[in-house]
Amino acid sequence: METKSAYNLVIVGYGGMGSYHGQLIEKTDRLNVFGVFDTADYRLELAKGKGYETYDSMQAVLSDENVDIVLIATPNDVHKDLAIEALRAGKHVICEKPVTIYSADLLDIMKVAEETGRVFMVHQNRRWDEDFLIVRELIQKHTVGDVFHVESRVQGANGIPGDWRQLKAYGGGMLLDWGVHLLDQLLLLTDSQIDSVSAHLSTILDTEVDDGFTAFIRFKDGLTALVEVGTTNYIKLPRWYVKGSEGTAVIRDWDLSGEVVRSNPDVEKVEPKPIQAGRGLTKTMAPPSEESTIRGPIERAETIPEEFYSNFVAVLEGTAKPAVPNTEVHRVLVLIETLFEAAEQNQVIHRDI
Among 97, 123, 149, residue at a domain's last position: 123
Distance CA 17, CA 9 (A): 15
- Let me know whether 192 and 54 are in one domain: no
**Residues 133 and 167 grouped into a single domain:** yes
Summarize pLDDT for 221-232 with one digit per residue, the tens: 999 999 999 999
In this structure, the answer to whether residues 110 and 190 fall within a common structural domain is: no
Tell whether the model's pLDDT for residue 249 goes beyond 90. yes
| pLDDT, tens digit, 9 for 90 and up, residues 181-209 | 999 999 999 999 999 999 999 999 999 99
Domain end: 123, 150, 184, which one?
Answer: 123
- In a domain, residue 181? The reply is yes
Predicted confidence at residue 163, as pLDDT, reads: 86
**Residue 323 included in any domain:** no
Paired sense of beta strands 258-263 and 275-277, if any:
unpaired
Is residue 206 included in any domain, yes or no? yes
On whether the CB atoms of residues 353 and 338 are closer than 8 A, the answer is yes
Q: What is the pTM of this model?
A: 0.95
In this structure, is residue 71 part of a structural domain? Answer: yes
Cα–Cα separations (whole angstroms), residue 271 to 146, 264, 286, 287, 295: 23, 13, 10, 10, 17
- How far is 298 from 286, CA to CA, in rounded Å? 23
My answer on whether 136 and 117 are in the same domain is: no
The string of pLDDT tens digits covering residues 80-138 is 999 999 999 999 999 999 999 999 999 999 999 999 999 999 999 999 999 999 999 99
> What total of structural domains would you count in the chain?
2
Whether 1 shows a pLDDT value over 70: the answer reads no
Q: Is 287 exposed, middle or buried (0-12, 13-18, 19+ CB in 10 A)?
A: exposed
User: CATH code at 112?
Assistant: 3.40.50.720
Residue 223's nearest CA partner among 125, 133, 152 is 152
CATH of the domain at 239: 3.30.360.10
- Do 35 and 115 sit in the same domain of this protein? yes
- State which residues form the domain around 172: 127-257+298-304+335-350
Bridge partners of 214, per DSSP, are 200, 228
